[in-house]
Amino acid sequence: MAITPENLPKHELIGLKISVVKSTDKTQVGLQGQIIGETRNTIIVQTSKGEKTVQKKGAVFKILLNGSEIEVDGDQLIKNPIERTKTLVKKW
């Protein structure tokens, strides 16, 4: 199944380009790079200054997908990656 904006949360995020648009931690706003890992509550991003861990809760991300930037609410991604990819997708 191809990754689309509608089914993005159901897919593996590792390897996608990401930027932090909004976060409860203001120091992370503007952070950008490539997703290299993910846990239930965090996304690990490889930036030009090294690996950074970003909390999903309270954050909004822009993910580059097929040349388009998709805005994703981090709260929609809170779940173990394996479990998240098995659940039904809700539109946001």
On whether the 8-72 domain is CATH 3.40.50.10090, my answer is no
Closest CA to 27 of 57, 50, 59: 59
Q: 54: burial class by Cβ within 10 Å (0-12, 13-18, 19+)?
A: buried
> Is the overall model pTM greater than 0.75, yes or no?
yes
Q: What is the pLDDT of residues 50-81, one digit of tens each?
A: 999 999 999 999 999 888 899 999 998 888 87
Domain ranges of the chain: 8-72
